[in-house]
Amino acid sequence: MTPPPSSSSTSADAAVTGTPEPVDAPAGTTAPDDSTLPKKWSRIMIPFVRPSIEGGIWPIKRSVDESVDVRAGVVVDSHEAIEVELVVTDPEGETTIHRMTPEENDEYSGRFEVTELGRYAYTVRAWLNRFATWQDQFRRRVAGGEPHEELESELQAGVDLVRAAMENADGTDAKKLKADLEAFEAGDEEAAMGEGIAARVRRNAPHDMMVESQTYEVIVDPKIARSGAWYEFFPRSTRDDGKHGTLDDAAERLEGIRDMGFDVVYLPPIHPIGVQHRKGKDNAPTAEPGDPGSPWAIGGLLEDGTKGGHKSVHPDLGGMEAFDRFVEKAEDVGLKVAIDIAFQTSPDHPYVEDHPEWFHHRPDGSIRYAENPPKKYQDVYPINFENEDWPALWTELQDVFQFWIDRGVTIFRVDNPHTKPFAFWEWCLAELRKDTPELIVLSEAFTKPKTMYGLAKLGFNNSYTYFTWRNTKDELTGYAKELFHTDVAEYFRPNFWPNTPDILHDFLVHGGRAAHQLRFVLAATLSSAYGVYGPPYEHVFNHQHPDREEYAKNEKYEIRTWNWDDPMSLQDFMGRVNAIRKDNPALQQMRSIRFHETKNPNLIAYSKKSGDNLIVVVVNLDPHNPQEGQLDLDNGALGLPHDDAFIANDLLNDTRYTWRGQHHYVRLSPDRPAHIFRLEQEGQEHEVFERPVHD
């Protein structure tokens, strides 16, 4: 579990002035014990530090090689000079100190790079730089023409400050400060005013009246948490002959998926499937003989007659050995494997027999199946996380993750986390990360925004979103701004999916191929993490269930065959988009996104920028008609020339345009639903963009 990181002390003897802990007591007398006077106090306030989530209760998130830009407001009474420093502790406990830069309005800025997985901590501290104050006043005395004898006396006032620094110093600084001191004592005004001595004293001065902000944390995830492209498929639907595919059959698909440019293959649950109350095709209440059942009805018979649950592999998928081979093959071709964690059971799960107390019970003692009255789901038993034996249950469920981590899986998609206690996830994920900081956990919570954001705060580092239902320009723009331009961006990593086995939106049903293409471009470029439920998407299979916004002939309940070599598929298109993502750091991060006017509500346009890499995406949201408009760019903000020409290189359609100024005609049609422009200036076209990305 994660107690709030070093939250404010309530020690009754510190006058806090906005910061929990003045570090030093003031010089001289200590306040008597029986007085109300503060034992420690400072003249400095640090009113707020950003980024921080709810005052630092929750850590922010970054991925490896990103930076954290810290801002703090710091004030001191009177006109004293202060030093403001950013103290950063890396996951190994190594501490570095960065001097912060004064900005407007008493704000200070500092930056650190996060290069290791795990938890970093950052604190802002500030102390009085008495020598700088003295030096400023002394310079003004000299400029104001004070008489020599007065200056000499003031010079002596600096001696103590230099001596104090000298006593702390060693090496070159100590030697030079000794010389400084001698110059001072000899009345050398010039020496006293220099920048060199200021730096030497600053480096070694006692940190007078220092205060520290509370400590904030950042969890650093693998880069793929930020920029992963996910591909979901059912491993049993990978044969041509309609038979149940194994993980070895599925492994045959890995090179194709890699060639499409994906990073992660995500498999629905791979465990044995319950037989009791098994659902039939299209979620029919009763299965016909031969129906394979839903993989989310977890737990059933193994080949050896025993029961298997969350730590076993369906015999028809080839068992654990086939899984190990699948993971190995994936690694060989350069893909990560993600599996599904759904904490619920079929009536055939071994937990039911071994731990009946882990479930809900009806008054007659029978185990409660899942219900949303009057609907009943007899094939699924929810787990009772509050049962009297909860410590054993929680420990076992955490061990489910650990079991698969030990088999090489570090990416998980968690089914319905919002129906399990928040406290469970907070504890479980924090514990797992202690040994597995590379853990990626995708929250499948299509629920209330505060719950979705809450799960992200307490440990999920990828999250499904409402993107699937956001189709108009206003909807997309508003949602993107909420996700990428508010504090949400500090802890919630949206993973955009245009479809899932549970969701086939009307837009895809009615918009056909063009809709599939344009929604794919949006998913892959609005967020930097995205995924697609691949087979029906790439084959533009969009038959909807008559009653529900989901696929007909749903693979959740039956085995399908797909023509992987169909020349009409979107595989090449998807591959092209992913290649562009890989080549352009601007598309591997989220927060720089900026929306641009197009003068047409059907044309959405946005840019992303990372270093010199500047991408502008224009998408026609109308899958039925051509649309034209005028793209307005803010050349100043984007770093584009105001008068000179620049190149708009459409990486998707291999076309180069020469643009000038801020207004550009754009036209897109259903057979070409998007531009992904790289804007290039003279001589920049052939650069390779491999600089680190600052999100």
416 is in an annotated binding site: yes
Which 69-98 positions form the footprint of a second copy (CB under 8 A)?
A: 73, 75, 77-79
Which 395-414 positions form the footprint of a second copy (CB under 8 A)?
A: 395
**Distance (Å, rounded) from C-alpha 69 to C-alpha 56?**
15
Tell me which stretch binds a second copy (CB under 8 A): 21-29, 328-336, 619-627, 660-668: 21-29
- 436 is a contact residue toward a second copy (CB under 8 A): no
- 106 is a contact residue toward a second copy (CB under 8 A): yes
Phi, psi of 33 (to 5 degrees): -60, -30
- 431 is a contact residue toward a second copy (CB under 8 A): yes
Binds a second copy (CB under 8 A): choice among 2, 346, 525, 571? 2
553 is in an annotated binding site: no
Contacts for 44 with CB less than 8 Å, ≥ 6 apart: 17, 19, 74, 75, 76, 82, 126, 127, 128, 209, 210, 211
Tally Cβ neighbours within 10 Å of residue 6.
17
Q: Give how far Cα 170 sits from Cα of 158, 204, 441, Å.
A: 20, 9, 49
Q: Which of 528, 533, 666, 506 is nearest to 588 (CA)?
A: 528
Angle between helix 130-143 and helix 148-168 axes, rounded to 10 deg: 160
Binds a second copy (CB under 8 A): choice among 99, 203, 243, 448? 448
Q: Which of 216, 218, 212, 211 is nearest to 56 (CA)?
A: 216
Binds a second copy (CB under 8 A): choice among 97, 199, 423, 568? 423
- 54 is a contact residue toward a second copy (CB under 8 A): yes
597 labelled catalytic: no
Q: Which of 386, 450, 392 is nearest to 418 (CA)?
A: 450
- 567 is a contact residue toward a second copy (CB under 8 A): no
Contact 177, 166 (CB under 8 A): yes
The catalytic position among 415, 490, 555, 558 is: 415
**Quick check: bond before 51 cis, omega within 30?**
yes
**Distance (Å, rounded) from C-alpha 453 to C-alpha 300?**
34
| DSSP β-ladder status, 411-415 and 336-341 | parallel
- 420 is a contact residue toward a second copy (CB under 8 A): yes
| Alpha-carbon torsion (351, 354, 359, 364), positive or negative | positive
Tell me which stretch binds a second copy (CB under 8 A): 185-193, 251-259, 451-459, 564-572: 451-459
- 601 is a contact residue toward a second copy (CB under 8 A): no
Q: What is the dihedral of CA 379, 383, 388, 393, to 10 degrees?
A: 120
- In the complex, what is the shortest distance from the CB of residue 164 to a second copy, in angstroms, rounded to a whole number? 15
What is the helix (H) or strand (E) element at residue 433, kind and residue range? helix 422-435
Nearer to a second copy, 326 or 464 (CB): 464
Binds a second copy (CB under 8 A): choice among 124, 411, 442, 458? 458
214 is in an annotated binding site: no
Nearer to a second copy, 141 or 582 (CB): 141
| Alpha-carbon torsion (550, 553, 557, 562), positive or negative | negative
Q: Where are the beta strands (DSSP E) in 534-612?
A: 594-596, 603-610
Counting Cα atoms < 13 Å in the Cβ hemisphere of 75 gives 9
Which 108-147 positions form the footprint of a second copy (CB under 8 A)?
A: 137-138, 140-141, 143-146
Nearer to a second copy, 138 or 234 (CB): 138
- In the complex, what is the shortest distance from the CB of residue 45 to a second copy, in angstroms, rounded to a whole number? 5
Nearer to a second copy, 55 or 639 (CB): 55
> What is the DSSP annotation of 38-52?
-SB--SEEEEEEES-
415 labelled catalytic: yes
Tell me which stretch binds a second copy (CB under 8 A): 190-198, 223-231, 263-271, 445-453: 445-453
Helices vs. strands in the chain: H and E counts, helices first: 18, 33
Which 497-556 positions form the footprint of a second copy (CB under 8 A)?
A: none
344 is in an annotated binding site: yes
279 is in an annotated binding site: yes
| DSSP β-ladder status, 627-632 and 663-668 | antiparallel
- In the complex, what is the shortest distance from the CB of residue 7 to a second copy, in angstroms, rounded to a whole number? 4
The catalytic position among 85, 431, 444, 538 is: 444
What is the helix (H) or strand (E) element at residue 156, kind and residue range? helix 148-168
Size of the site for a second copy (CB under 8 A): 97
- In the complex, what is the shortest distance from the CB of residue 69 to a second copy, in angstroms, rounded to a whole number? 19
Binds a second copy (CB under 8 A): choice among 15, 179, 199, 284? 15
- 686 is a contact residue toward a second copy (CB under 8 A): no
- In the complex, what is the shortest distance from the CB of residue 423 to a second copy, in angstroms, rounded to a whole number? 4
Contact letters for a second copy, residues 292-331 (x by CB under 8 A): ----------------------------------------
Which 186-245 positions form the footprint of a second copy (CB under 8 A)?
A: 209
Q: Give how far Cα 466 sits from Cα of 255, 285, 476, 479, 693, Å.
A: 31, 29, 10, 8, 26
- 27 is a contact residue toward a second copy (CB under 8 A): yes
The DSSP 8-state label assigned to residue 96 in this structure reads: E
Q: Helix, strand, coil shares of the chain as percentages rounded to 5?
A: 30, 25, 40
Contact 367, 361 (CB under 8 A): yes
Contact 105, 74 (CB under 8 A): no
- In the complex, what is the shortest distance from the CB of residue 16 to a second copy, in angstroms, rounded to a whole number? 6
Nearer to a second copy, 466 or 541 (CB): 466
Tell me which stretch binds a second copy (CB under 8 A): 119-127, 382-390, 594-602, 625-633: 382-390
Q: Give how far Cα 501 sits from Cα of 292, 508, 548, 689, Å.
A: 16, 13, 12, 36
- 156 is a contact residue toward a second copy (CB under 8 A): yes
- 415 is a contact residue toward a second copy (CB under 8 A): no
- In the complex, what is the shortest distance from the CB of residue 50 to a second copy, in angstroms, rounded to a whole number? 11
- In the complex, what is the shortest distance from the CB of residue 378 to a second copy, in angstroms, rounded to a whole number? 13
Contact 657, 608 (CB under 8 A): no
471 is in an annotated binding site: no
Binds a second copy (CB under 8 A): choice among 334, 449, 478, 641? 449
Please report, in range form, the residues annotated as the binding site: 279, 344, 379, 416, 556-557
Please report, in range form, the residues annotated as the binding site for alpha-maltose 1-phosphate: 279, 344, 379, 416, 556-557
Positions annotated as catalytic residues are: 415, 444
